[in-house]
Amino acid sequence: MRGIISNSTVYELALVSVLVVAFLIQLYYYLGIYLRVALPKKRSVDNSSAHCIPISVVICARDEEENLENFLPFILEQDYQDFEVIVVNDCSSDNSGYTLDRMLKKYPKLKVTTIKQDEKFTHHKKLALTVGIKAAKNEWLVLTDADCRPDSNKWLASIASNFSENSEIVLGYGGFFEERSFLNKLIRFDGLFIAMQYLGLALAGKPYMGVGRNLAYKKEVFFRNKGFASHAHIYSGDDDLFINEVAKKNNTRVEFRSNSHTRTIPRNSFKRWEIQKRRHITTSKRYRLSSKIMLGGEILSRILFYGSSIALIALLYFPWIIGGLVFLRLIIQLSIIKGVMYRLSERKLLLLSPLYDFYSLFFYGRLALLNIINPRKSSWR
């Protein structure tokens, strides 16, 4: 009869509506957020005088003897006029102390603060960072980790080029060393995708986090916001929760030119990486509501896009058109990710992106469920 629509038609139209809305939301993230990272950065101010701004580099180290030996010289030998490097040797049980003592004789810019083990009192990295920040003599702080190496001796100069009267926070890119394994590619692509989000949103005026491997902010900002006081009881969050609290559109700048990157050693087993990721995602529930909506919107729209497209193709509802829409998103995705890879100096990851796009939904969903069912006590880092 005329005017009567079958239940199957209503179901199909509803799925089409969901698919179109999800597709448009995905376009917003890729063209409105991630594309900003793929495009060359426009520098409105040539802050050449920033090379003279004093910097305090703060590094926390616990049992990092080998990493200090291998990576600390790359930081101490930066081509920058006025900086100091403060290493907080936090209750190390290896020979980190001897390594640092030897370096103190060679590098006048190095300062070492040691925290001794106290059997009656346990602490985590936030205390060590606070100790290092208090020991810093300069207003601008640059943070990285003991297992990180700058990609260039212009690292500090690149970060400092963003220092100005209006800027209080500078977000950099911290990638991972490249190795010949599938796990390494997975970890590096995960880091790349997260960088697309936090760098892209910051460029869009919606900063929500940074990574402690490559991060700068003013000492005054740290103490004005009482440091890590609001989340001191949480082991993680010294970078993302703090930045989520203090970063605003007008006080945050982004630096991701190739000579500003750092690289760190990735986890060498899937289990260790999973534990690390479980610790990281425990902090996301404490983000600002606007940050949760932005991050959750991407995940939800991706779920709905895949779910509705698979259902419509299974129902044989114009499968070539639905498949074409999926293919169009894939082309946009690959084009932008290729540009981001170029900007962030990453290689051999492009073909992994479709797999990660689908797999990460299950991976992070599983970790979130595990954190609810069986919460883990986090380690120092």
In a domain, 101, yes or no: yes
Q: How confident is the model at residue 68 (pLDDT cuts 50, 70, 90)?
A: very high
Most confident residue range from 50-54, 91-95, 233-237, 250-254: 250-254
85 and 135 housed in the same domain = yes
Structural domain tally of the chain?
Answer: 2
Average pLDDT over residues 346-367: 94
Diameter over CA atoms, the chain: 92
Q: Answer whether residue 129 is part of any domain.
A: yes
* Residue in the block written with tokens 């980190």: 96
Closest C-alpha to 27, from 376, 331, 324 = 331
228-262 residues labelled b (16+ CB within 10 A) or e (exposed): beebbebbbbbbbbbbbbbbeeeebbbbbbeebbb
Instruction: Give the pLDDT of residue 124.
Output: 79
Instruction: For residue 2, tell me if it sits in a domain.
Output: no
Decide: 38 and 151 in contact? Cβ < 8 Å.
no
Q: What per-residue confidence (pLDDT) applies to 185?
A: 96
Residues 83 and 147 in one domain: yes
pLDDT digits (tens, 9 = 90+) for 280-304: 888 888 899 999 999 999 999 999 9
Residue 276 pLDDT: 87
Q: What does the radius of gyration of the chain's CA atoms come to, in whole angstroms?
A: 23
Residue-level pLDDT at 354:
94
Percent of the chain past pLDDT 70, that is, above it, reads 92
- Say yes or no: 149 and 236 in one domain: yes
Closest CA to 172 of 186, 191, 188, 190: 191
Per residue in 226-241, pLDDT (tens digit) is: 988 888 778 778 889 9
8 Å CB contact between 164 and 45: yes
Rounded to the nearest 10 degrees, the angle between the axes of helix 65-76 and helix 96-106 is 20
Q: What is the CATH number of the domain that holds 175?
A: 3.90.550.10
| 374/179: higher pLDDT | 179
Higher pLDDT, 381 or 179: 179
Can you tell me the distance from the alpha carbon of 176 to that of 262, in angstroms, rounded to the nearest whole number? 8
Residues 155 and 181 in one domain: yes
Query: What's the pLDDT band for 48 if we cut at 50, 70, 90?
Result: low
Domain match, 186 and 64 both: yes
Per-residue pLDDT at 229: 87
pLDDT averaged over every residue in the chain: 91
Q: Same structural domain for residues 238 and 321?
A: no
User: Other CB atoms closer than 10 Å to residue 15's CB: what's the count?
Assistant: 20
The verdict on 228 and 300 lying in the same domain is no
CA–CA gap between residue 28 and residue 44 (Å, rounded): 25
φ/ψ of residue 89, rounded to 5: -85, 100
Residue 162 has φ and ψ, to the nearest 5°, of: -95, -5
Residue 169 DSSP class: E
- pLDDT-derived band at 10 (thresholds 50, 70, 90) equals confident
Domain assignment present for 4: no
Alpha-carbon span 209 to 239, nearest angstrom: 7
221 inside domain: yes
Residue 45 has pLDDT above 50, yes or no: no
Given 264, 283, 302, which residue is the final one in a domain?
Answer: 283
What pLDDT is stored for residue 7 in this prediction?
67
Residue 225: inside a domain? yes
Mean pLDDT lowest for which of 32-36, 153-157, 194-198, 375-379? 375-379
Residue 120 identity: K
Domain shared by 225 and 104, yes or no: yes
Q: What is the pLDDT of residues 184-202, one digit of tens each?
A: 999 999 999 999 999 999 9
Kindly state whether residues 66 and 25 are assigned to the same domain.
no
Last residue of a domain, one of 261, 283, 305: 283
Q: Are residues 220 and 304 in the same domain?
A: no
Rounded Cα distance, 336 and 346, in Å: 13
Terminal CA-CA length for the chain? 67
User: How many CB atoms neighbour CB 51 within 10 A?
Assistant: 16
What's the pLDDT band for 168 if we cut at 50, 70, 90? very high
Contacts (Cβ under 8 Å, ≥6 apart) of 70: 149
Same-domain status, 307 and 204: no
pLDDT band at 123 (very low <50, low <70, confident <90, very high): confident
Is 380 inside a domain boundary? Answer: no
Question: Where does a domain end: 283, 316, 334?
Answer: 283
Q: What domain range includes position 307?
A: 9-39+290-373
Pick from 21-35, 116-130, 350-364: least confident: 116-130
Q: What is the pLDDT of residue 235?
A: 76
Least confident window among 31-35, 45-49, 87-91, 321-325: 45-49
Q: Is residue 378 part of a domain?
A: no
Q: What percent of the chain has pLDDT over 90?
A: 77
Same domain, 122 and 20: no
